[in-house]
Chain A
Amino acid sequence: MINFQYLRTTTSKSALALLSKDKAAKFLAGGTNLIDLMKRGVTTPEKLIDINHVPLKQIELKGDTIIIGALASNTAVAEHALIKEKLPLLANALNAGASAQLRNVATVGGNMMQRTRCGYFYDTEMPCNKRQPGSGCGAIGGFNRMHAIFGTSEKCIAVHPSDMCVALIALDATVVLANQKGERKILFKDFHRLAGDTPQLDNNLKTDEMIIRLEIPINNLAKNSHYLKVRDRASYAFALVSVAAALEISDHKITDVRLAMGGVAHKPWRLTASENFLKGKEASTANFELAAKLAMTDAKGFGENDFKLQMAPNSIIEALTLAKSKA
C-alpha cells in the first residue's frame, strides 16, 4: 500500500468539487472492496475522499417510485420495511451477498462500483487486461471456474460480483448521477458495461461524477419473486450463478416477468428474450424450461466454467419455480 491523502467531506457538492481537482482521487464509502484493492496494490489512489458523511442515505417512497440514496448501507436497504414489502427481490439479493458485517458498512453506490473478484485481477504479478490493459487475460486458459459465459470478450471474461445489482437490473432501476454541472439519469441496465475492448472500464460513470441515488418504479412483482444464489458455501461466497426471478401472474398467465442473472457476465445480465417468451404464457414448468433454454442461446464456456452452461438454465427453472410457488 502506498501513502495517500485522506479527505473527508459532508456534502455531495464539496465531494464533487474535490473530485474535479484530482481525477485520480477516489471516493471512499464503505471501503469493503476499495481497501482490499489498495492493500493488494491493484488500485493506488493518491487521494481518498471519504463521503460517508454526505447525507445520501434516504430510503423512501415518492409517488410510484422508491428512492434509495447511494450511501444507504446494504443492511439498511435490506432491512427497510418499504423494501421488504415492495421490493423483496432486492432485499433477498442483498442478504445473499457478502456477510452481515460487510453489509453493515457496504453502501448501495459502493456495491455498484465493486470490482470483479477474478484472481488474476487481484494478483499484480499475473496478467490482467482489466488491471493493466494489454497484459493479457490470465483467466482465459487458466482458472476460470467463476467466470463469464455471456457477453465475453477475448480480452476479459471476468464477472461482476454483485447480487444487489442483479435485482436492480431486473427491477428496471434508474441511476441518478451528478457532476459539478448537475444531475443526469441513466438506466441501471446501461450503467455497467461489457468488457469488449476496454475491460478496464466496469461501468459508464464518468471520472467527474458520483452516484447520488437509485429510483425504482413500484411494480406488482413483490408477491412472486425469488433470488436464487448458487455458491460453493452457504454464505460469504460469490455466486457460481444467481438468478433474480419475478412474476406477475393473473389467471395462471404471466402478465409481467423479470429475469436477470449474476455470476455469468461482466455486468448484471438481464434475460430479455426469456422474459419476452414468457409474457402472456402459462406459468408452467414446461414454459420455464423453454425460457431457460432460450436464455442460453449465446452462452459460451471456457473450460472450467463449462458447468455453468447447465447450472445456469437449471437455476433459471428453479428460481422461476420458487417465485411462482410463493403464496
Chain B
Amino acid sequence: MENRMLKDENDRVDGVFKVTGKAKYFAEYELPGLTYGVLVTSTITKGKITTLDTKAAEKAPGVISVLSHLNKPSAPGYEQDGGSPMKIFYTDKIFYNGQPIAMVVANTFERATYAASLVKATYAKEEFNTNFDKAVADSKSKKLQGQPDYKRGVENAYKTAEVKIEEKYHLPIETHNPMELHGIIADWRPNNQLTVYAKTQGVKATQGTIANVFKIPVENIQVNSEFVGGGFGMALRTWPVEIATVMASKHIGKPVKLVITRMQMFTMVGNRPAAIQTIGLGANKDGKLTGITHRAFGETSVYENFTEGVVNMAKFMYQCDNVNTQYTVVPVDLGVPIWMRGPGEATGAFALESAIDEMAHALDMDPLEFRIKNDPERDQQRSLPFSDKNIKEAYRVGAQKIGWNERKNKPGSLIDGQLKTGYGVSIGVFNANRGRASVKGILKADGSLVLQSATSDIGPGTGTGMTLIASKLMKIPADKITFELGDSSLPPAPSQGGSATLSTVGSAVNDVCVALKSTIAELAANSNMDATANFVDVLKKNNLPSIEIMKQSQAGKEREAYSMYSFSIHFVKVKVHSLTGVVKVDKIVSVGDSGTIVSPKTARSQMVGGAVGGVGMALTEESIIDHRYGRYINNNFADYHVPVNADIPEIEVHFINKPDPYINPMGAKGMGEIALIGFSAAVANAVFNATGKRIRSLPITPDKILADS
C-alpha cells in the first residue's frame, strides 16, 4: 500500500483514496479468467425442491456451469452431519422465500443473469409463517430459546408501585442496506490454494470459516478486504452464498465473482430482527424507580438461532433494586437475522427509553431530571463501580446545546400554525469491549513507521485512529505512518464488531510503540547516544535499516474490578405537521461519553452516521413482507426508505473526552454502537412532547401520527 498523505492530523488516512476512486473494493478486482456467478432463488417459502431444470441454462451462451444440490460441488465440511442445515447446494429443503437454490456461472455477468432466468424449479410446498406477531402470539405452547432470565430483588415490583406504567413496543425488521452490495471473489487454484476478495468485517473470521467448510489449512487461504463499503454488522459472518461461490470456483477451476442484487440483500445477508417488547416501570411519587421489568421477543429463523442483547440495558442503566428481564427468540420462516448497528441494545433502548419518558410524564417530571434522579453510582447488575461515567455532564452539555429550556413539559405546548414542536432525550449505552489483537510495527531508518494487523475498516476510520495513536506516542508525523489492515496474512485481530476495534487493536498499537521506543532507547544507550536521540539517527548509527516488533495485547484483571461502558445522550427537536402527520427532525445533538477521543474527525463522523441511521430507524425504515406469500414487498432502495439528505437537519456532536482510567492505555472506548443506541426513542419522545401522541411502533410514519389522533 502506498503511504497515504495526510493534510492535517484530523484527516482520514484513506479519505483521498475514497473520494478519488482509488480505494479498491472487493468487486473491483479483475482477475485473469474471472467468471461471474448469479444466484437462482426459491419462489416458495417452505418445502422441498422436487425438480430443478437447468438444461436451458447450461446451453445458454457463455455458461460454464450450473451448480445446485443436483451436482453438489465438493465441500467436505458440508458433507458432515451437524451445523446449520442451510447448506447451499447440499439441501433440497426450502427454509425461506428467496433462498439460493442454484448458481449459474458464465463468462459475463449479463450472460449469467440471463441464464439464471432459465433455471426452472418445481416444489412440494408446505405451510409456513413469516408473521412475527403471529408467531409470538402462537408461541406460548412451544419451547423457545433465548437467554437466561434475570432477576434482582422482587420480580414485577412495578405492579405494586405508587406510580406504574406497562406498555408494549414493536420494532419491524430492518435491513442493513450498506451502499456496497454483498458478495465475494473466490479464486481456487491447484493444490488447494485459495485467494478471496471479500466484503467482510473480519478477514481472519472469513479465513477460518472457509477453512472449516473446505477442510484445508488456514495458511492456504488468503483473504483480502482492504476497503469495505459499509457493514453495519451484516458482514460479521461468512454467509452461505460466499461459501457457495468458493465451491463454484473450486468446481470449475476458475475465479468466480458473486455480487448479490439489492433485492437479495433483504434475504441472504441478515437483518435487524423484529421485536415485541413489554416494559413495566414502577416509581414512587418522588420519582425514584422501584421496579423495572423488561420482557422481549426477538425474531429468529427456523434453521439457525440468533440472539442479541435486547434486555441488557434494563439491568444496570438506572438505579433500581428490583429488576427482572426475560428474552426469548421466536422462529419464523425467514432468513436468519444478524447484528445490525447497535444490535439488540438499540432494539431494547427504544422500548426502555420510551418507557422512561412515559414514566416521567406519568410523574409530571422533566424526563431529563427523572433520568438524573435515577442515575446509578455503581453497576447494580455486576456490583462493581463504573470505570468511567460522566452522564450528568453529558446531559448538561446536550441540554444546553439543544435548547432544552425551551421545552415545555406539557405535550403540545409549542404550536406555530400547523407545526408542533417537541423535544426528546434518550440515553444509549454499550459494553466498552477490549479483545485480543496483535500488531507488528516496522520502524525504518527513513523515518517511517509501518503498522500491520489483520483488522478491518468497514468505514469508521480504523487506519486513521491507529495512525494517530502511533503518531502521538512515537512523535512521528502521521503522514510518515502507514497502517495496513484487511489482509489475513497480517498479525491476527478480531472482527470489527461490538465497537471494540479502537480499544482492542489500538492497545496493541500502543504496546508496539512502547516497545519500539524502549528498543530505540536501548540502542541509543548502547551506542553512547543521548536517551532523547531521534530514532532515525539511532538506527543509522547502528547500521540498521529498520527494526521490527510484534506485540499481542489484551485486557487484564481490570475488567473484573470495573464495569466498563460507553454512553451517549441524544437530544432531538422535531416539528410535527398536524394535518399531514409528517415528522421533520429539526435539530440533533448527540453527546458521546466514550473516554478519550483519539481521532476527532472520524469520531464525529461515527456519531453523525449513527444519528442518520437513528433517524431511519425512528421514522422511515421497515422491511415489509406479504405474509400470504412470505415475500418482501419493498426490497429496493425506492421503497425501503433510508433517510436522504433532506431528512437530516443540523447534527451537533459533542464529546466529554475524558480518559477512562482503566480500560486501555489510551483511555478510549468504542463509539460505533452508542451513536445509534437509544436514538429512535429520543425521536419518539420528541414526537410525544410535540403532539401528545405516543407511538410505540417503529417507524413513526405519517399514517401513525394521524391514526393516533
Contact = CB atoms under 8 A, between A and B. Distances in A.
Contact of A123 (B619, B620, B631): B631
Given A1-B113, A230-B582, A233-B643, A307 B633 contact: no
A138 B641 CA distance: 22
A41 interface: yes
A117 interface: yes
A99 B642 CA distance: 14
B556 to A, nearest CB: 47
Given A119-B634, A318-B580, A232 B629 contact: no
Nearest to A240: B702
A97 to B, nearest CB: 12
Interface string B628-656: 11010110001101011111000000000
A315 interface: yes
B626 A230 contact: no
Of listed B418, B628, B706, residue having the most chain A CB within 10 A: B706
B579 interface: yes
A194 B242 CA distance: 47
B114 A3 contact: yes
Interface string B576-591: 0101111010000000
Interface in A217-246: 228, 230-238, 240
B624 A2 contact: no
Nearest to A143: B633
Given A125-B629, A126-B626, A311-B703, A235 B646 contact: yes
A317 B706 contact: no
Contacts of A10: none
Interface string A1-33: 111000000000000000000000000000000
Given A3-B114, A123-B633, A311 B581 contact: yes
Contacts of B646: 233-235
Contact of B647 (A120, A234, A311): A234
Contacts of B619: 232-233
B706 A310 contact: yes
A134 interface: no
Contacts of A234: 584, 644, 646-647
Nearest to B579: A314
A126 B534 CA distance: 71
A138 B706 contact: no
A123 B98 CA distance: 12
Interface string B542-583: 000000000000000000000000000000000001011110
Interface in A109-152: 117, 119-120, 123, 125-126, 138, 141-143, 145
B644 A317 contact: no
A307 B624 contact: no
A249 to B, nearest CB: 20
Contacts, number: 89
B43 interface: yes
Nearest to B633: A119
Contact of A311 (B580, B626, B644): B580
B117 interface: yes
A233 B647 contact: yes
Which interface residue of B580, B647, B702 has the most chain A CB atoms within 10 A?
A: B580
A237 B703 CA distance: 15
B19 interface: no
A314 B580 contact: yes
Contact of B641 (A143, A233, A311): A233
A142 B626 contact: yes
A311 B706 contact: yes
A240 B703 contact: yes
Interface in B480-511: none
Residue from A119, A238, A310 whose CB has the most chain B CB atoms within 10 Å: A119
A318 B633 contact: no
B1 interface: no
Nearest to B701: A232
A2 B114 contact: yes
Contacts of A237: 638, 641
Interface in A82-125: 99, 117, 119-120, 123, 125
Contacts of A314: 579-580, 706
Interface string A285-327: 0000000000000000000000100110011011000000000
Contact of B580 (A1, A142, A230, A238): A230
A232 B117 contact: no
A315 B581 CA distance: 10
Contacts of B577: 318
A98 B110 CA distance: 27
A254 to B, nearest CB: 20
Given A232-B641, A232-B701, A307-B703, A125 B579 contact: no
Nearest to B709: A310
A123 B628 CA distance: 14
Contacts of B580: 228, 230, 311, 314-315, 318
A143 B113 contact: no
B702 A230 contact: yes
Nearest to B98: A125
A3 B110 CA distance: 10
Nearest to B578: A314
Contacts of A233: 619-620, 641, 643-644, 646-647
B137 interface: no
Interface string B378-395: 000000000000000000
Contacts of B633: 119-120, 123, 142-143
Contacts of B628: 141-142
Interface in A195-213: none
Contacts of A125: 43, 629, 631
Across the A-B interface, the 3 shortest Cβ-Cβ residue pairs = A234-B646, A307-B703, A314-B579
5 contacts: A141-B628, A232-B702, A240-B702, A307-B702, A311-B581
Given A119-B626, A238-B638, 19 more contacts: A1-B110, A41-B117, A117-B639, A119-B634, A125-B631, A138-B629, A230-B580, A230-B582, A232-B641, A232-B701, A233-B641, A233-B643, A233-B644, A235-B645, A235-B646, A236-B638, A310-B706, A317-B579, A318-B580
